Amino acid sequence: MPSQPVFLLDANAFIESAKRYYAFSIAPGYWDGLIFHAQKGPVRSIDRVKTEIDKGKDDLKIWVDTNFQEWFESTNQQDVIDAYGRVMTWALGQPQYTAFAKAEFAKAADGWLIAHALAKRYVVVSDEYYDPNIRRRIKIPNVCRAIGVSYLNTFEMLHALHVQLTLPSQ
- pTM (global) more than 0.75: yes
Phi, psi of 128 (to 5 degrees): -70, 155
Amino acid 170: pLDDT: 54
- Sorting pLDDT into bands at 50, 70 and 90, what band is 166? confident
71 secondary structure, DSSP code: G
pLDDT band at 1; cut points 50, 70, 90: very low
Domain residue ranges in the chain: 7-161
Q: Nearest-CA neighbor of 44 among 23, 24, 73? A: 73
Phi, psi of 44 (to 5 degrees): -145, 175
Fold adopted by 7-161: Rossmann fold (3.40.50)
Partners of residue 72 on adjacent β-strands: 45
pLDDT digits (tens, 9 = 90+) for 81-140: 999 999 999 999 999 999 999 999 999 999 999 999 999 999 999 999 999 999 999 999
